[in-house]
Amino acid sequence: MTMPRAEITGWGKYVPGKVLTNDDLSKMVDTNDEWITARTGIKKRHIRTEADTTTSMACAAAHEALAVAGLTPADLDLIVVANSSPDYLLPAPANLIQHQLGAKCPALTLAAGCSGWVYSLVTASQFIQTGAYKNIIVIGVELISYAIDYTDRSTCVLFGDGAAAVILQPSQTEAGVMTFELGSDGEHAQHLMVPGGGTRKPLSQEVVDNREMYIRMNGQEVFKFATRKLISCLHNITGSAGMSPADLDLIIPHQANLRIIEYAADKLQLPMSKFFINLHKYGNTSTASIPLALVEAIEEGRLKPGDVTGMVAFGSGLSWAGAVIRMGEALAKAQPQAEVEGALV
C-alpha cells in the first residue's frame, strides 16, 4: 500500500495594518533607509496594532485557508501552530487558536525558531501519510515585535509581524510533500537568543534594566550559518527527490535578508528570478516568513498545478528545515493577483 502524500489544498495570510517604514525607524534609532535597504533589502514591515494578538492573527489566516479548501473548523483533525511569541507562557498558542476557531480537534504548538513552520509542515505531513488524520491546518504566526528591542538598530530593522496557514490533505496524485530535511545545531544557540524571561533568568528588574527580554543576535554568525544551510539544504532536499536545485520551478527561502538569498543564488549559479522574495514588504516574520511567501507566490500565480517548489528555513536553535513540494490541482483555484508594490529584484 502506498502512503498518500500531504497536499496543499488551502492557503491564507494575515498581516497587521500598522506599517513601519525604514524612514519611521530612522526617527527611532541611528539608522537610515539607505543602510537598511543595502544591507537587508527590507523597505518596511507590518507591526501589530492594539487589536492584534497571536491568536487573532493566526485565526485570520486560518479562516482564509479553510475557505479556500472548502472546509470549516469542525472538519479539522489537527491544528499545528509554529510560534515563538505566544499570547501567554501557558497555555500554548495552538489551544487558544483551536478554541477561537471553534474547532474540536487536537492542537499542537511547535517551537523551532524561524524554522518552525517547515518543521510543522513536515510533522503534519507524517500524520497524513500514515492515514491518522485527513484535514490538518499548519499555521505560522509571529508577533515577534514583542521580543524586539526598538533601541537596538542591529535587530529592530529586521523583523515584522504576520501569520499564514495552509491546509494539508491526503493526495490522490503525485502532488504533495516529496522530501524534507530537518536540522539542529544547538551548540551555537547563543548566536540568536532571548537571554531573559525564561527559567534560567526569570523576569526581574535586572532583566528589564539590561533589556534581556529582547532578541540578541550575532548577525554575522547567523548570516554565515544561513548561507551555508540555504545552499546545503537545497542540495539535500532536491537530491533526495532525484533533482537538483535548478530543477525547482520556484525556491521559497526564509525571508531574512536579501543578501543571504543573493549569496546562495550566486553559489548555486541560479538566477534570482528562481527565488520568491517578499521580504521588502514584511521584513523577517520568523515562523510566518515561509508560509507568507508561499501564499503570496500562489496568489501571484508564481506557482501552478504540477510545479515543484523547494523551501528552506533557518533560525534560532540554531535550526534549519527544508522541504520539496509538488503543487496539486487545488492551485487552479488561485485567482492570480498582480504583485501590487513591485518586487525589489
153 near ligand ACO, judged by CB under 6 A? yes
* Angstrom distances, CA of residue 212 to CA of 154, 163, 195, 237: 15, 26, 5, 37
Q: Widest CA span of the chain, in angstroms?
A: 62
40 near ligand ACO, judged by CB under 6 A? yes
Phi and psi angles of residue 101, each rounded to the nearest 5 degrees, phi first: -75, -25
Please pick, from the candidates 82, 157, 298, 325, the single residue that binds ligand ACO as defined by CB under 6 A.
157
Whole-number Å distance between alpha carbons of 121 and 118? 5
| Contact (CB, 8 A) for 284 and 270 | no
Site string for ligand ACO, 81-110 (x = CB under 6 A): ------------------------------
The stretch among 8-16, 118-126, 166-174, 217-225 that binds ligand ACO (CB under 6 A) is 217-225
CB of 260 to ligand ACO, least distance (A): 6
Q: Is 180 exposed, middle or buried (0-12, 13-18, 19+ CB in 10 A)?
A: buried
192 near ligand ACO, judged by CB under 6 A? yes
CB of 313 to ligand ACO, least distance (A): 8
Catalytic residue flag (residue 59): no
Whole-number Å distance between alpha carbons of 115 and 260? 16
143 near ligand ACO, judged by CB under 6 A? no
Closest CA to 223 of 194, 277, 260: 260
Please pick, from the candidates 20, 137, 256, 268, the single residue that binds ligand ACO as defined by CB under 6 A.
256
238 near ligand ACO, judged by CB under 6 A? no
Whole-number Å distance between alpha carbons of 218 and 220? 6
User: Per the residue annotation, which of 135, 254, 257, 278 is the catalytic one?
Assistant: 254
Catalytic residue flag (residue 83): no
- E-strand ranges in the chain read 6-14, 18-21, 44-47, 78-82, 107-110, 136-142, 162-170, 176-184, 192-193, 216-217, 250-253, 308-315, 319-326
| Contact (CB, 8 A) for 112 and 82 | yes
What is residue 91's DSSP assignment? Answer: S
Taking CB positions, which residue lies at the least distance from ligand ACO? 219
Q: Which residues contact 89 (CB under 8 A, 6 or more apart)?
A: none
Please pick, from the candidates 16, 73, 113, 140, the single residue that binds ligand ACO as defined by CB under 6 A.
113
Catalytic residue flag (residue 233): no
The C-alpha cell that represents 51 in the structure block:
487589536
CB of 302 to ligand ACO, least distance (A): 22
18 near ligand ACO, judged by CB under 6 A? no
Specify the pairing of strand 192-193 against strand 216-217: antiparallel
Specify the pairing of strand 78-82 against strand 136-142: parallel
Which of 20, 136 has the CB closer to ligand ACO? 20
The stretch among 122-130, 201-209, 216-224, 262-270 that binds ligand ACO (CB under 6 A) is 216-224
CB of 292 to ligand ACO, least distance (A): 13
186 near ligand ACO, judged by CB under 6 A? no
Residues 49 to 78 in contact with ligand ACO, rule: CB under 6 A: none
Please pick, from the candidates 18, 19, 21, 35, the single residue that binds ligand ACO as defined by CB under 6 A.
35
Please pick, from the candidates 83, 169, 238, 286, the single residue that binds ligand ACO as defined by CB under 6 A.
286
| Contact (CB, 8 A) for 339 and 273 | no
114 near ligand ACO, judged by CB under 6 A? yes
The stretch among 57-65, 121-129, 221-229, 268-276 that binds ligand ACO (CB under 6 A) is 221-229
**Secondary structure class of 18 (helix, strand, coil):** strand
Task: Please give the residue ranges that form the binding site for ligand ACO (CB under 6 A).
Answer: 31, 35-36, 39-40, 113-114, 153-154, 157, 192, 217, 219-220, 222-223, 226, 256-257, 260, 284, 286, 315-316
User: Catalytic site residues?
Assistant: 114, 254, 284
